[in-house]
Each structure stands twice: as C-alpha cells, then as structure tokens.
Amino acid sequence: MSNHNKAAPRAPKSGGGILPYKRENGGQVLVLLAREYRKGTSPKYAPWGEFGARVSNPKESDRIQAALTGFEEETGISPHTLEISGKPLIELIHEEGNVHFSSDVDNYSVFPIDVSAENSKGFPSVTQLKQDRHDRKMAYKKAKFNGDHSDATRLRKTINKDDFRWVPLEVLKKLAAFDTNYYDDNVRATSEWSGETFTFSKDLLNLLKENNTWGTSSDIN
C-alpha cells in the first residue's frame, strides 16, 4: 500500500473550560453547571458541565484561550469586564501560579474561579444568564431568517448551553465517586438534591474524582 493511501494521524486534541464556584455564608460551596443543548435529544439526557471549548493544539496557552472563548460564548460574560479578586478574569487566569486542574482526557484543563459576591464584580445571576441566552437565541433566529449565515453561525455557538444551575460541591463529589473506567462518553447519575437525572461529561467526572477540592483548603473553609 502506498503512503498516500494511509490515513493521516489525528491532530492532538486539547481544550479548556471555566467552572465558576461560590461560597455560601454557611460555608457550603456551590458550583455553576450548564446544560448542553443537543437538538433532538431529551433535556433529561443532555450533559451538564463547565463552560469551555476545544482546540487542536495541546499548548497551555491554547487551553487558556479555549477556556476564555468558550466561557464568553456560552455565558455572554466578557473576561475583560468580569472582575475576580480585583482583576479582570483575563489577567487573573494568566497569572503564574493560578490554580487549575487538568483531567486525563485529551489535555483538557478546567480553571475554577471564585465568583462569591465578596470576591467578584459583574457576575450575573442564573436568571440573568437564562435571559441573556434567550436574547441570543432570538438574535440567532432573526439572523437565520434574514439569511445572514455568518452572524447565524456565530450566534449558534453562543446558545449551546440552555440551562444553568448552582449545584452543591458535596453532591458532585458523591457523583464523582463512581468508577469512571467503564463508560465511554457519559455517565448518568441521579442527583440527590433534586431527584433529577443528569449526565456528566467524562472530563468533569474525572476531574472531580481526582481533585475533590477547589484551590487550597483555606479557599473553601
């Protein structure tokens, strides 16, 4: 067989995501998850996860950019205007020593950010996130109706996540206790806090299984 008939090697996959969390007055840590909209799939089986994107280069700088791009697209929040610890997110995430966790799936990194009221400025409520997503969906439909394919393509990326919920970290720890070696793409588990069935991505389950705290102990106590 000649070389030109051989399949080209797959480009290495990589990516990054941002996972907002906050501390309640009682010390409870809540994590913001978003449901991924998939046309033709029942919401009951739609996966929940962080805000992010993938790229074809595993360099750390590309994982950070993928995380920032995915976060802005899926929330409408600019990393230039969202302040965390007194700095724009885009500056904070590039700081040396910024805490992040990497799963063992395709070089995917998740960057947790503390959006507690006392630590952030400009982070919207779930109601606002849903309204902003609704507005983007209406803009997408309008662009599609008007035949503006470029704008429709851009806007379509911004409505991939169609629901948002704060979930107790303790619940996610329990869900992540499953043996994650046997599944392929997703694992379904019943959430104790709502009784609903969620599908968590392989990346998020691996992440939570291997790193069951966010930052240092002082961050969440």
Backbone angles phi, psi at 165, to 5 degrees: -150, 145
Residues 173, 210: Cα–Cα separation, whole Å: 10
pLDDT at position 47: 77
49 in Cβ contact with 160 (< 8 Å): no
pLDDT for 43 beyond 60? yes
Alpha helices (runs of H) in the chain, residue ranges in sequence order: 60-75, 89-92, 126-145, 149-156, 169-175, 202-210, 217-220
pLDDT tens string 74-124: 999 999 999 998 999 998 887 755 545 544 345 677 788 889 999 999 899
Q: How many CB atoms lie within 10 A of CB 131?
A: 13
pLDDT at position 30: 87
Q: How many CB atoms lie within 10 A of CB 135?
A: 13
Lowest mean pLDDT among 65-74, 116-125, 192-201: 192-201
- Which tokens go with 205? 């389950």
pLDDT at position 73: 93
| Mean per-residue pLDDT, 145-174 | 88
Burial pattern 140-149, b for ≥16 Cβ within 10 A else e, equals beebeeeeee
Average pLDDT, the chain: 74
- Calculate what percentage of the chain has a pLDDT beyond 70: 62
Residues 163, 43: Cα–Cα separation, whole Å: 10
pLDDT at position 221: 31
41 in Cβ contact with 47 (< 8 Å): no
- Calculate what percentage of the chain has a pLDDT beyond 90: 30
